[in-house]
Amino acid sequence: MNKSALKKFATEARKELLERVELQARKIGITAESIQKANVESSDAVFIDGRQLSDVERRQRNKLIARINDIGFDQVMEETAYTWFNRFIALRYMEVNDYLPTKVRVLSSTNDDSAEPDMMKEALSLDLELDKEYVYELKMNNKTDELFKYLIKMHCNGLNRYMPFMFETLEDYKEILFPEGLLGTDSFVRQMTNTDVIAESDWQSVEIIGWLYQFYISEEKDEVFANLKKNIKITKDKLPAATQLFTPNWIVRYMVENSLGRIWHDSYPESQLKTEWKYYLDEAEQEKEVINQIEEIRYKNVNPEEITFLDPCCGSGHILVYAFDVFYDMYLEKGYMENEIPQLILEKNLFGIDVDDRAVQLASFALMMKAREKSRRVFRNAIHPNICAVQESNWLTIEMIANISGNNIQVKEQLHLLGETFIDAKEYGSIIRIGPLNNKILEQRFSEYKLEQVDLIDMIHKKIIEEKLPLLLKQAKFLSQSYDVVCTNPPYMGQGGMNSNLSNYVKENFSDSKSDLYAVFMEVCLNLSKQDGYVSMINIPSWMFLSSFEKLRINLLSNTLIINLLHLGRGIFGADFGTTAFVLRKSIIENYLGSYKRLFESQSIVDSLERKEKRFFNEPTFVNNQKKFMHINGSPITYWAKDIDLKNFTENPKLGDLSEPKQGLATADNNRFLRFWHEVSINNIGFSFGNSEDALKSKLKWFPYNKGGAFRKWYGNNDYVVNWENDGFEIKNFKDSNGKIRSRPQNLQYFFNKSLTWSKVTIGGFSVRFIPEGFIFDVAGCSIFFENDSENNMYYNLGLLNSKVAKRILGFLSPTVNYEVGHISSIPIKKDNDIELELIKIVKSCLDISKSDWDSKETSWEFERHPLLEFSSIALNIAFRSWEEYTLSQFNQLKFNEEELNRLFINIYGLQDELDSEIDVKDVTIHKANSDQDIKSFISYAIGCSFGRYSLDEKGLIYAGGEFDASRYQTFPADEDNILPILPGAYFEDDIVTRFVDFVRVTYSEETLEENLDFIADAIGRKANETSREALRRYFLNDFYKDHVQVYKKRPIYWLFTSGKEKAFNCLIYMHRYDKTTLSRIRTDYLHEVQIRMDAEKKDLLTIIEGDYTAKEISNAKKELKSLDKKIDELRAYDELLHHMADMQIEIDLDDGVKVNYEKFKGLVAKI
| 20-59 pLDDT tens trace | 999 989 988 889 888 888 777 666 667 877 778 888 888 8
Beta bridge partner(s), residue 529: 483
Report pLDDT for 170: 53
Give the list of residues 6+ apart from residue 562 with CB closer than 8 angstroms, or none: 556, 582, 583, 584, 594, 596, 626, 637
CA atoms of 238 and 806, how far apart (whole Å):
44
Average pLDDT in the chain: 91
End-to-end CA distance of the chain: 44
Kind of pairing between the strands at 1066-1070 and 1054-1058: antiparallel
| DSSP β-ladder status, 720-723 and 776-777 | unpaired
Taking the CA atoms of the chain, what radius of gyration do you get in angstroms? Answer: 38
Distance, in Å, from the CA atom of 70 to the CA atom of 153, rounded to the nearest integer, reads: 25
If DSSP states are collapsed to H, E and C, what string results for 353-366?
A: EECCHHHHHHHHHH
Q: What whole-number distance in Å separates Cα of residue 1137 and Cα of residue 1142?
A: 8
Partners of residue 660 on adjacent β-strands: 785
Instruction: Tell me if residue 976 falls in helix, strand or coil.
Output: coil
Contact present, 919 and 644 (Cβ < 8 Å): no
**Do 951 and 969 form a contact (C-beta atoms < 8 A)?**
yes
For 75-83, what is the mean pLDDT?
88
- Across 724-758, b (16+ Cβ under 10 Å) vs e yields bbeebeebeebeeeeeeeebebeeeebbbbbbbbb
Q: How far apart are CA 548 and CA 545, in angstroms?
A: 9
| pLDDT attached to residue 629 | 94
- Give the domain 239-390+483-641 fold: Rossmann fold (3.40.50)
Say how far apart CA 414 and CA 439 lie, in whole Å: 8
**Helices 318-333 and 249-257: crossing angle, nearest 10°?**
50
Average pLDDT for 1138-1150? 96
Cβ–Cβ < 8 Å for 924, 891: yes
DSSP states along 1025-1084: T--HHHHHHHHHHHTHHHHHHHHTTT--SEEEEE--TT--SEEEEEGGG--TTHHHHIII
pTM (2 d.p.):
0.79
Q: Pick from 416, 421, 462: which is nearest to 442 by CA?
A: 416
> pLDDT (tens digit, 9 = 90+) per residue, 178-223?
888 888 888 999 999 989 899 999 998 888 888 888 888 777 766 6
Among 714, 691, 719, residue whose Cα is nearest residue 704: 719
CA 9 → CA 189, 208, 524, 770, distances in Å?
10, 12, 36, 56
The continuous run of DSSP H or E covering 595 comes out as: strand 593-598
Nearest to 829, CA basis, from 773, 778, 790, 777: 790
Residue 913: CB partners within 8 Å, gap ≥ 6?
644
Give me the percent of the chain exceeding a pLDDT of 90. 69
pLDDT at 764: 76
pLDDT of 741 reads 93
Instruction: Give the integer Cα–Cα distance in Å for 92 and 28.
Output: 29
Higher-confidence position of 1019 and 101: 1019
Q: What is the pLDDT of residue 1004?
A: 93
Query: What residues does each domain of the chain span?
Result: 3-195, 239-390+483-641, 398-427+433-477, 655-852, 936-996+1021-1159
Q: What residues pair up with 21 in beta bridges, in sequence order?
A: none
Least confident of 759-773, 835-849, 954-968, 993-1007: 759-773
- Which DSSP state fits 591? T
Q: What is the pLDDT of residue 378?
A: 81
User: To 10 degrees, the CA torsion angle through 717, 718, 720, 725?
Assistant: 150
Question: Which of left, alpha, beta for 231 (phi over 0: left; psi -120 to 50: alpha)?
Answer: left
| pLDDT 10s digits, 230-256 | 666 566 565 655 555 678 889 999 999
Statement: residue 534 has pLDDT above 60: yes
pLDDT at 226 over 70: no
Residue-wise DSSP of 443-491? HHHHHHHHHS---HHHHHHHHHHHHHHHHHHHHHHHHHS-EEEEEE---
91, burial (CB in 10 Å: exposed 0-12, middle 13-18, buried 19+): buried
Confidence of residue 129 (pLDDT cuts 50, 70, 90): confident
CA angle 16, 19, 25 (to 5 degrees): 140
Q: What is the 3-state secondary structure (H, E, C) of 753-810?
A: CCEEEECCECCCCCCEEEECCCCEEECCCCEEECCCCCHHHHHHHHHHHCCHHHHHHH
Q: Could you tell me which residues come within 8 angstroms of residue 525 by beta carbon, excluding any fewer than 6 positions away?
A: 312, 486, 488, 490, 535, 537
**Predicted local distance difference test score (pLDDT) of residue 42:** 62
Task: Decide if 1053 contacts 1150 (C-beta within 8 A).
Answer: no
**For residue 228, is pLDDT > 60?**
no
Number of helices and strands in the chain (H, E): 44, 23
Strands 674-676 and 386-389: unpaired
H-run or E-run covering 658: helix 655-658
Q: Which residues pair with 585 in a beta bridge?
A: 534, 561
